[in-house]
Amino acid sequence: MGELLEKCTAAKLAAQKMARVSTVTKDNALGAIAKALVERTDEIIAANKTDLENARKNGIREAMIDRLTLTPERIKGIADGVLEVKALSDPIGEVTGMWKRPNGLEIGRKRVPLGVIAIIYEARPNVTADAAALCLKTSNVSILRGGKEAIASNTAIMKIMQDAAYSAGIPEGALNIIEDTSRETATQLMKMNGYIDLLIPRGGKGLIKSVVENATVPVVETAAGNCHVYVDGAADPDMAEKIVMNAKVQRPSVCNAAETLLIDKAIADEFVPRIFKALQAENVEIRADEKSRAIYSENIAKATDEDYYTEYNDYIIAVKIVDGVGEAIEHINKYNTKHSEAIVTDSYERAERFLNEIDAAAVYVNASTRFTDGFEFGFGAEIGISTQKMHARGPMGLEALTSIKYIVRGNGQVRG
Amino acid sequence: MGELLEKCTAAKLAAQKMARVSTVTKDNALGAIAKALVERTDEIIAANKTDLENARKNGIREAMIDRLTLTPERIKGIADGVLEVKALSDPIGEVTGMWKRPNGLEIGRKRVPLGVIAIIYEARPNVTADAAALCLKTSNVSILRGGKEAIASNTAIMKIMQDAAYSAGIPEGALNIIEDTSRETATQLMKMNGYIDLLIPRGGKGLIKSVVENATVPVVETAAGNCHVYVDGAADPDMAEKIVMNAKVQRPSVCNAAETLLIDKAIADEFVPRIFKALQAENVEIRADEKSRAIYSENIAKATDEDYYTEYNDYIIAVKIVDGVGEAIEHINKYNTKHSEAIVTDSYERAERFLNEIDAAAVYVNASTRFTDGFEFGFGAEIGISTQKMHARGPMGLEALTSIKYIVRGNGQVRG
């Protein structure tokens, strides 16, 4: 508890000072950070080597090792990301409304920092720079708690960021990393009420679950994505194939990739063979319902109810033939994680119905679910994708890291 | 668990249907509810009699009994409150932004219901109608869990609301009350992840604490208010007295009443005797620091550090003399609950500094803290006052009961 309490206390003090730091100072600090990350690449590479050696010793699988590996090019990419955050406009201080009451009170609503934001994340060390830069840009203090696999890399990156930021006028205590990567410390962090204004978990299902169950501080849940593409009877089959393939195979490991394909029975006889062949050509394993197996081949694996609930994040897709847009909506609202859902159709009425009735952060007509992303949405940044409905939903840009404050100017008003 | 799981399941189903109910149907239902509450006043009074008898039997104190008591006039007041909610404009469906991306995707951001809102509250039965009406207006399903003291009244009010709403076309399951008032059921309700999109506690410190510690569903914390008035050296003493007295004694039991008075040492010699006499004339107990006791009288009770942390909700005030606006801000940011804070001053520079540096939902210059309220702010309604920074801060009107959904229209876009 020593390190955690000490850093949380420093963070809370720094948050008060951060609320007064100017945009110019923040942007100068982000510029200095980007420069320092490139200049001190050797230190980061050396630390990363330690992490990689430990990973190999612990038999971590190759895909993870790739995520963990830093090269000068990747570090340049991280520094460029910091410069992109620098280039965004500062939301803090923006007045989002102002009105006068009959008693003469003038009420203004102003964007202010949330205060202290804690982020618990897994392997990838780029999240360290990314998350700390977004918090700094929005005058928030960050407390990062990364996974033990990347702790040497994360600590090296954070040290460089702290040096550069504090030299540029950012108050000490505004950027923090918890070096103790034990599970106990993570759980304590989730319960630091009074110190932490928002906790964002970034990682797999296990991490999200642990945060939701243990946290007593406010949380935004992120990232579980059991996304669907529904190919309607009125779809252009070429467009449908293009969208299904993009949503499934362009990057299957991410949360906005499709996991289940729903096909309108009206076009199943033609579309099932076509799309199954295309999927198999890309080595996608198909788990299908009885009807589509009957159309295509009994050699295809059977989909269970469990399959429809599963976010594979892999070259696997579940398939079901449905009786039109109504059953598609019903299926999706039952099995989805409220992330991203798409319909392919040329029917105006069915498109509108799908947009209105699907319960998800992002609902698409004739486009791939893969676009749910802060950059693709034009926010210029992303701290995560919220799958809950309160505070922020969908891709979280800078505004999701702000709160509001009411400023009330009077001339002696009292309540009667 | 039987009743709770059954009602949560029904609520979740109803939430999907509620998302499609028109404004006209919702407003008709609110009109029908108001009418039915008045027409069936006798039923409510009879149920209330049961609650009152139990309360007397259990030796509940008189102030609580007054809060619990319903009369035909109070029921008329509750019905009028429902009509006020009806008269507000419907935020659901409002498009709060729409833009086109370079790839041709059109992205719109639309206000949607949160889904299922649970409210755990204490004695006053008017909260039942109030909270259910606000949820209905915003197409949310409500699950109310009131205190055992008012359970007969709450159940009677809810029964009448359900009858009226369902007859007017609101889907069954959209309005719910948990009749089991055991603590275990309340705790289970706080953990119904997957069923509840937002939980709002309305009540005393004990309730809020229990919700923050136990809830795994998303919560908005409400209502703790340790509010301050700072009388600056440049204040008009008449205005300062008027504001201090209003903030303290106009209604001491509420969260936006002042609990601590800070006085600039520059005017302490004149202002302390004046305001202490005025407070004592209203039977306010003063707990003061050494300096103000030395100015006024050693007979005044000494303020402890604990006093400065306390929300009395009573005719008690803590007092401290400070060395100008800087120490006032420091004191407030240390001891406050981020609710409402006021400065009385004629100095432009100190007013601006106070507005910028105080961390609270509402910050006032030359006005009473008592104005922090959805009605006083012009929102036309209030479901509570959030003292957290995420999702909603300060008075929560209809918009605080909404989420957003991104609607994306394409013509075959896939991600490269």
Question: pLDDT digit string (tens) for A68-83?
Answer: 999 999 999 999 999 9
Query: Quick one: CA dihedral A251, A256, A258, A260, positive or negative?
Result: positive
pLDDT for res B352: 96
Q: Name every chain B residue with its beta carbon within 8 A of the beta carbon of A376.
A: 101, 105, 415
Residue B304 pLDDT > 90: yes
Choice among A108-122, A372-386, B230-244 with the minimum mean pLDDT: A372-386
What are the counts of helices (DSSP H) followed by strands (DSSP E) for chain A? 15, 16
How high is the pLDDT of residue B381? 83
Q: How confident is the model at residue B2 (pLDDT cuts 50, 70, 90)?
A: confident
Average pLDDT over residues A204-229: 89
| Residues of B in Cβ contact (< 8 Å) with A361 | 405-406
Question: How does B268-296 read in b/e, with b if 16+ C-beta sit within 10 Å?
Answer: beebbeebbebbeeeebebbbbebbbebb
On chain B, the residues whose CB falls within 8 A of the CB of A387 are: none
Mean pLDDT, range A318-342, rounded to an integer: 96
Question: What are residue B228's phi and psi, to 5 degrees?
Answer: -125, 150
Q: Kindly give, in sequence order, each residue whose CB lies less than 8 Å from that of residue B350, ignoring residues fewer than 6 positions away.
A: B232, B234, B324, B325, B343
Share of chain B above pLDDT 70, in %: 99
Rounded mean pLDDT, A306-333: 96
Tokens (6 digits) for A277:
């062949």
At residue A394, what is the residue type? G
Residues 6+ away with beta carbon under 8 Å from B15:
B113, B115, B116, B140, B141, B174
| Chain A nearest C-alpha distance from B360 (Å) | 7
- Kindly tell me if the per-residue pLDDT of A102 is higher than 90: yes
B9 pLDDT exceeds 70? Answer: yes
**Angle of helix B324-335 relative to helix B348-357, nearest 10 degrees?**
20
Of B111-120, B380-389, B391-400, which gets the smallest average pLDDT? B380-389
Q: B227-261 burial, b if ≥16 CB within 10 A, otherwise e?
A: bbbbbbbbbbeebbbbbbbbbbbbebebbbbbbbb
Residue B390 with chain A: CB contacts under 8 Å = 114, 197-198, 218, 220, 390-391, 403
Q: Calculate the alpha carbon distances from B304 to A166, A369, B284, B318, B332 in Å.
A: 37, 59, 17, 9, 15
Share of chain A above pLDDT 90, in %: 89
What domains can you pick out in chain B, each with its CATH number? Answer: 2-221+388-409 (3.40.605.10), 227-371 (3.40.309.10)
State phi, psi for A300 to the nearest 5 degrees.
-70, 140
Taking residues B254-268, what's their average pLDDT? 97
Q: What's the pLDDT band for A333 if we cut at 50, 70, 90?
A: very high
Q: What integer is the mean pLDDT of A87-97?
A: 95
Nearest to A361 among B362, B367, B406 (CB): B406
Chain B residues inside the 8 Å CB shell of A411: 366-367
The Cα of A135 is separated from the nearest Cα of chain B by a number of Å equal to 15
Q: Which of B338, B346, B393, B413 to mutate to test the interface with A (most CBs of A within 10 A)?
A: B413
pLDDT of residue A63: 76
Q: In what order do the strands lie in the sheet with B141-145?
A: B175-177, B141-145, B116-121, B198-202
pLDDT at B205 over 90: no
Predicted local distance difference test score (pLDDT) of residue A253 = 86
A114: left (phi over 0), alpha (psi -120 to 50) or beta: alpha
pLDDT of residue A67: 86
Three-state DSSP class for residue A117 = strand
Q: Give Dmax (Cα) for chain A.
A: 80
* Model confidence band, residue A122 (pLDDT cutoffs 50, 70, 90): confident
Distances (CA, A) of A53 to A121, A257, A274: 21, 32, 46
The pLDDT value recorded for residue B66 is: 87
Q: Residue B279 and residue B260: Cα distance in Å, rounded?
A: 12
Query: A108: distance to nearest CA of chain B, Å?
Result: 10
Give which of A409, A413, A405 is closest to A97, Cα–Cα.
Answer: A405
- What is the Cα–Cα distance from B68 to A105, expressed in whole angstroms? 34
pLDDT for A356-390, tens place per residue?
A: 999 999 999 999 999 999 999 999 888 999 988 99
Whether B378 and A101 have beta carbons less than 8 Å apart is answered as yes
pTM (2 decimals)?
A: 0.89
Could you give phi then psi for residue B61, rounded to 5 degrees? -75, 155
ipTM: 0.91
- Residue-wise pLDDT for B12-69, tens only, equals 999 999 989 999 999 999 999 999 999 999 999 999 999 999 999 999 888 788 889 9
CB contact under 8 A, B356 and A105: no
Closest partner CB to A389 (pick from B197, B361, B362): B197
What is the mean pLDDT of the segment spanning B150-158? 97
Cβ pair B366:A411 closer than 8 A: yes
The number of beta carbons lying within 10 Å of the beta carbon of residue B316 is 17
Q: Which pLDDT does position A1 carry in this prediction?
A: 62
Nearest to A406 among B389, B394, B410 (CB): B394
User: Over 80: is that where the pLDDT of A247 sits?
Assistant: yes
Residue found by looking up tokens 């507000």 in the block: B88
Would you state the pLDDT for residue B296? 96
Closest partner CB to B405 (pick from A114, A250, A363): A363
Task: Return the pLDDT at B82.
Answer: 96
Closest CA–CA distance from residue A416 to any residue of chain B (Å) = 8
Question: CA B7 to CA A372: how far, in whole Å?
Answer: 33
Tell me what pLDDT residue A195 has: 94
In contact, A83 and A33? CB cutoff 8 Å: no
Identify the pLDDT of residue B1: 62
**Is there a contact between A15 and A136 (Cβ–Cβ < 8 Å)?**
no
Which residues in chain A are contacts of B243 at CB distance < 8 A? 412, 414
Contact between B246 and A414 using a beta-carbon 8 Å cutoff: yes
Q: What is the mean pLDDT of residues A131-156?
A: 97
Residue A44: pLDDT above 80? yes
Contact B279, B288 (CB under 8 A): no
Selecting from B213, B219, B389 the residue whose C-beta is nearest the C-beta of A403 gives B389
Average pLDDT, chain A: 95
Provide the pLDDT for residue A205. 80
Q: Which residues of A touch B216 (CB under 8 A)?
A: 212-213
3-state SS, residue A175:
strand
For residue range B117-128, what is the model confidence (pLDDT) as tens digits?
Answer: 999 998 789 999
Mean pLDDT of B226-241: 98
Please state, in angstroms and rounded to a whole number, the distance separating the CA atoms of residues B62 and B16.
43
User: How much is the pLDDT for B405?
Assistant: 97
